[in-house]
Amino acid sequence: MEPPCSFHPCDEAVIATNDDATDCKRCAVRLGYWKDEYIGYFVRNQDRKAPEINRGYFARVKGVEMCVEKFLKKTNGDCQIINLGCGFDTLYFRLRDTSHQVKNFIELDFPTVTARKCYTIKRNKALLAKIHDEDGEVRLSPTDMHGPSYHLMGVDLRNLDELDNKLQQAEVNYSLPTIFLAECVLVYIEMQNCKNLLKWISNKFTNAVFVNYEQVNMNDRFGEVMLNNLRSRGCSLASVEACVSLDTQVNRFLECGWTGSRAWDMVQVYQSLPEAERQRIERIEMLDEGELLLQLFQHYCLVVAWIGELFQDIEITCVNV
């Protein structure tokens, strides 16, 4: 057995990034960038964010949704979703309002985060009703929640024995097509631990896709400013060496046994969104000038890696053709 991972000094700062991201998503939703009827249950903050931040989160959310949509169409719902470092993400609840259904939806994060998410779900009927049906019960502990096809669990992703145990509790099927989602998660995990995690997944799952939203081009001046800002908040980007370029992002997966991988910066992802949708959100708020947004988009990326052949033909940059 692996010894349990000790709590790292920067873990608290990493946990706090969930609150920041949820605040930003809430602001953008309130302004009409996209619809999310559930984010307001997890955060009440009404602070107004800069237009560049709102537009950046729009591209982030829609980019990940685009990949999930392609995966669900390929599998016809005969699949499972595993959300790593899920925070207060509401994808499960939003999917329940669509025609898309999946066999199993698993969310994992630090226990302090999942405890808060469990508490919020438990005290809001609109959320709880999405998790249990007439035949299913919901089992609760302070940090974990288990419904018929939804599992929210506290775990340290650096401890693979603990992760394996939690996934078994969630009745994971290692042979079922699986999509892993991670938004600014891997970058906070030390390089060796991150490699161990990606190798473990590639060995365990026979047919899987990994969608990773993360920083890129971090070795230039703008990237250095981003790094210093995070460090000033006590946040260390432990795997920043994988964020040097799109190539290093891709190679991180290839070196860990994944069949293939592709990466796009957020300039490309944003341009791939339907033109009418881009025009709609660009009317919500005016930018003083577009240089800051362009720099932000150039320093974040969407990476898709796969095991098996299910996702080998993915192409993001032509989705609006």
Binding-site residue set for S-adenosyl-L-methionine: 60, 85, 156-157, 183
Q: What's the CA gap between 180 and 80, in Å, rounded?
A: 9
What whole-number distance in Å separates Cα of residue 22 and Cα of residue 13? 15
* Known binding residues: 60, 85, 156-157, 183
Tokens representing residue 166 in the block = 């939690």
Alpha helices in the chain (DSSP H): 11-31, 51-75, 91-96, 111-122, 125-131, 160-169, 191-204, 221-232, 246-254, 266-272, 275-282, 291-298
Could you identify the residue written with the tokens 């602001």? 27
Per residue in 1-30, is it b (16+ CB within 10 Å) or e — as a string?
A: eeeeeeebebbebbbebbbebbbbbbbbbe
